[in-house]
Amino acid sequence: MNTAEPSAVMPHLTWFKSSYSGAEGGDCVEIAAGAHTVLVRDSKAVPGPVIRVSREAWAGFIRR
């Protein structure tokens, strides 16, 4: 896992907000699937940093 370039530099990705996010905006995360990684960002800080994890690590996280 490492931080990546700001997400504003990656306009080609499609970001998805967590289904657990409330309508008020609240504390939300968004994910996007890259070629070899899954990217995670704070929905309130879109141009901010992105965390990249391997697809295998993401699958393990979701299983838990």
Q: Is residue 38 very low, low, confident or very high in pLDDT (cuts 50, 70, 90)? A: very high
Q: Residue 29, exposed/middle/buried by CB under 10 A (0-12, 13-18, 19+)?
A: middle
> What tokens were used for 23?
């309508």
**How many other C-beta atoms lie within 10 A of the C-beta of residue 64?**
4
Q: Write out the two tokens for 53.
A: 């994890």
More confident call, 45 vs 37: 37
Does pLDDT of 6 surpass 80? Answer: no
CA distance 12 to 15: 10
Q: Is the pLDDT of residue 14 over 70?
A: yes
